[in-house]
Structure 1
Amino acid sequence: MHERYEVIVVGGGMVGAAVACALGHGGVRVALLDKAEPLRQWPEEPLDIRVSALTRASRLMLEQLGAWPGMARRGVSAYREMRVFDARAGGELHFDCADTEYNELGHIVENRVTVAALWDVLDTLDSVDCITPAQVAGIETDTEGARLRLDDGRVFAADLVIAADGNDSALRKLAGIGVTGWDYGQHGLVATVSTELSHRATAWQRFLDEGPLAFLPLANGQCSIVWTLRSETAKAHLALSDADFLQALEEASAGLLGKMLGVGPRAAFPLRFQYANSYTGEHLALVGDAAHVMHPLAGQGANAGLLDAAAIAEIVLETRREQRSLAGRGLLRRYERWRKGDNLIMMGSMDVLNKAFGIQSSEVAGLRSAGMSWINRTALLKNIFNRYAMGQRDDLPTLAQGKPCW
């Protein structure tokens, strides 16, 4: 015996929860499976060291899903400017929302805030069942759809399964979908820090020899840092005392925000370039990190995943309105065509930037900084970069345009 749904979403992080919300708004019978239900409440301190820089497109999507009010209540931080520096040769880029029609370039949001707000919405959607704890142990397919077997013996069936279970996706492996990629030999060190000078609602990024150091503004006046370092350096920095770490951070920042006054818990995660060789399998679609992992230097990973969520939801709902089967291959082909190319362009751009700033020669550094300064002086180019970074580009899913898709 098994319970039947139209769609099963595996993984209740921000991308999986967003898919389930969009489908639930459209009345689709959905099961959302996750290992555990996320926290909805927590103490004010410490802040979550995992944050995302959400674009305007992501905000518009989250507003349509009904999650933004819950996010704003828990705390979001608008950033109005972005300043990028090349420490080796002095190049600089400055983006300002005053040069756009909007009041901000984006928002820095703790990941747990986005997830909790989406699960609040899921509670209100009658057609969505959130099932925890749930650990997938196997998948079987036939012409009518897929059946998921959990490690406790329960079985769930659906026309379509959406895997949002992360970069080490169990479903991707069970479906036999391989990946292409490589390790960067770098880790991203993350922490929350207090600084002498105000962050001025500005996202700061300084490119150093080992990788970029970013200070992302938080609503309480602190900054979330993402510091890309060689893996061995990152591990050494995790082992430093708070005082020694703050001294190293202050030196690396070159005084951008004055003295470093305090630091919370630190963590580091390995950085990797990775994409699934196929975004789809039999009755299966991969979204978010299950489909692609990119360098965090421009903070686009979460936004790309949310666009995946919006795209697959839009296609499912359109297919359903046309009374066509959700078990058909055409739905999956359309999703892969829509999202794989866009993601590969973004991933490739991040990869090229990371490698370009990793070149140590003074000649390359001079050319690189000259290019940055040229872009900074060219209003048209800056506007193109600004709009792309804000998610304002062609072929966006309907939700990311601020319109419902149900």
Structure 2
Amino acid sequence: MVFKSKGEVFDVAISGGGIVGGTLAGLLGLQGLNVCLINAGSRPEWSPDQCHPRVNAVNHASIRIFKHLGVWGDIRNKRVNPYYQMKVWESDTGGAIQFAAKEMRVPHLGAIIENTVITSSLFHLLAEQPSVSVIEESQLESFMVNDDGLDLHTDSGHEVRCRLLVGADGVDSISRSLSDIGKQEYTSGQQAIVAEVLADNHHGHVAWQVFLPNGVAALLPLEEGRCSLVWSCDDECYHALMALDDAAFCEALTTSFEGRVGRITNTGKRYSFVLRQHQAESYIANRVALVGDSAHSIHPLAGLGANMGLLDAASLSQVLGESRQHGRDIDSHTVLRRYERWRKGENALVLNSMRGFKFLFGSHIQGSRVIGGAGLKLVNRLNPVKRVLAGFAMGDIGDLPLICSTSINADI
């Protein structure tokens, strides 16, 4: 529903209309909460003739969230690319590990889905939810906390009153900044190159990842044999790769993947972004909560960024819903603290694990890559350990929200 100022007080205002913010708005709307979503852009549109360069590796837990929302059918009917195996290796030592859906006794390991496929489906849902209002092409500019809620002001001149503000507005979150919440940021000195590429061999619905001396590269399966490339590398390597023409870039990519996916024959436009990993010092403030990249960001080698944010959204939705059922105020510190305790510890475990991977495989300290390669070989032989690691990555293990229960079908 398009925003219309009626002087009403919203239960929740969400700053940020990406995947996480849109999902949270939908979940709260299902509970009947009066929600205002402030979206910096216009309503996202999807075209079957265009492939969006930004993709997400969506795991089982996220699929269950989308099914609960009722948007999974729309997402699936647009474009979804499941993968059934994941093959990871270290280029210097040959240490390797692989995961297979059949071995894990699951229908698939996850799915690669374009960003606009998900957001367009979410916004179609929100347009049909009577308790959700959307302000488009607008960003939070300031807010003031008063006795009974918050008064928000946007750069487009909108004024919104709410009981609770949720920041879902990205790594450079204005909600976090305005709430005076600090963050611990870990700079990797790396940038990521993203492109759509084509190899002369079909990817076989396998996700490929190789640890290289200067970074890590991944090929994620798309339709018609195409792959989404995410190549994270040190600054020197990044500039050298971006300076190559398309033919030389394809050759470098073929060499880096050791020909395991065949010869890379074509590449689309290359995009890039600086890699940043951070954790907010607090996920909550007075009548404020943070979710997704506003609260934390992670190296893309794990493919978990969007999934972690979606778990934040589902967890906060559950906490607010249960609080309402017990007659508690959704904006109380006690309620918000429960959400923070739940998600901050879970996310910290993942973030610290990724820093460990970065040290082992990205460090120039002598012997670190040898240890990392040996570790891959060892874990690959320890099936119980491998199943636990896969379970966490797939969103089947952990302190999960009720709507992510493994009793719920995650089939595509």
CA distance in 2, matches of 1:309, 1:232: 37
Amino acid corresponding to residue 346 of structure 2 in structure 1: D
CA distance in 2, matches of 1:7, 1:368: 45
Paired residue for 1:22? Answer: 27
Paired residue for 2:380? Answer: 376
CA distance in 2, matches of 1:272, 1:81: 28
CA distance in 2, matches of 1:142, 1:104: 49
CA distance in 1, matches of 2:370, 2:11: 56
Amino acid corresponding to residue 377 of structure 1 in structure 2: R
Residue in structure 2 matching 1:79, options 66, 77, 83: 83
CA distance in 1, matches of 2:407, 2:372: 40
Q: What does 1:63-78 correspond to in 2, within 5 Å? A: 63-78=67-82
Paired residue for 2:56? Answer: 52
Cα separation, partners in 2 of 1:33 and 1:247, compared to 1, 3 Å: same
Q: Conserved in 2, the CA contact under 8 Å of 1:144 and 1:327? A: no
Q: Conserved in 2, the CA contact under 8 Å of 1:34 and 1:132? A: yes
Amino acid corresponding to residue 97 of structure 2 in structure 1: L
Segment drifting more, 395-404 vs 257-266: 395-404
Paired residue for 2:310? Answer: 306
CA distance in 2, matches of 1:403, 1:288: 25
Q: Does 1:257 align with 2:261?
A: yes
Q: Conserved in 1, the CA contact under 8 Å of 2:46 and 2:116? A: no
Paired residue for 1:333? Answer: 337
CA distance in 2, matches of 1:38, 1:188: 27
1:373, distance to aligned residue in structure 2 (A): 1.1
Residue in structure 2 matching 1:195, options 182, 192, 199: 199
Amino acid corresponding to residue 136 of structure 1 in structure 2: L
Paired residue for 1:13? Answer: 18
1:362, distance to aligned residue in structure 2 (A): 5.9
CA distance in 2, matches of 1:114, 1:15: 10
Deviations 1:337-357, CA, capped at 9 Å, x for gaps: 000000010001011101110
CA distance in 1, matches of 2:24, 2:44: 19
Residue in structure 1 matching 2:38, options 33, 44, 55: 33
Paired residue for 1:279? Answer: 283
- Give 3-state SS (helix, strand or coil) of 2:105's partner: coil
Paired residue for 1:289? Answer: 293
Amino acid corresponding to residue 81 of structure 1 in structure 2: Q
CA distance in 2, matches of 1:19, 1:229: 33
- Give 3-state SS (helix, strand or coil) of 1:220's partner: helix
CA distance in 2, matches of 1:40, 1:92: 40
Amino acid corresponding to residue 268 of structure 1 in structure 2: S
1:158, distance to aligned residue in structure 2 (A): 0.8
1:367, distance to aligned residue in structure 2 (A): 2.7
1:361, distance to aligned residue in structure 2 (A): 5.5
Q: Does 1:93 align with 2:97?
A: yes
CA distance in 1, matches of 2:406, 2:36: 25
Q: What does 1:110-121 correspond to in 2, within 5 Å? A: 110-121=114-125
Paired residue for 1:186? Answer: 190
Cα separation, partners in 2 of 1:11 and 1:402, compared to 1, 3 Å: farther
Paired residue for 2:3? Answer: none
Amino acid corresponding to residue 237 of structure 2 in structure 1: T
- Give 3-state SS (helix, strand or coil) of 1:84's partner: strand
CA distance in 2, matches of 1:152, 1:261: 46
Q: Conserved in 2, the CA contact under 8 Å of 1:64 and 1:402? A: no
1:403, distance to aligned residue in structure 2 (A): 8.1
CA distance in 1, matches of 2:8, 2:142: 16
Question: What's the % identity of the aligned pairs?
Answer: 36
1:220, distance to aligned residue in structure 2 (A): 2.6
Paired residue for 1:143? Answer: 147
CA distance in 2, matches of 1:28, 1:357: 46
Paired residue for 1:230? Answer: 234
5+ residue gaps in structure 1? none
TM (norm. structure 2) is: 0.94
CA distance in 2, matches of 1:30, 1:38: 17
Q: Conserved in 2, the CA contact under 8 Å of 1:165 and 1:290? A: yes
1:402, distance to aligned residue in structure 2 (A): 6.6
Paired residue for 2:159? Answer: 155
CA distance in 1, matches of 2:87, 2:266: 23
Cα separation, partners in 2 of 1:93 and 1:150, compared to 1, 3 Å: same
CA distance in 2, matches of 1:180, 1:301: 17
5+ residue gaps in structure 2? 1-5
In the comparison of the two structures, how many residue pairs are matched? 403
Deviations 1:56-87, CA, capped at 9 Å, x for gaps: 11111111111111111110110000000110
CA distance in 1, matches of 2:407, 2:388: 23
TM (norm. structure 1) is: 0.96
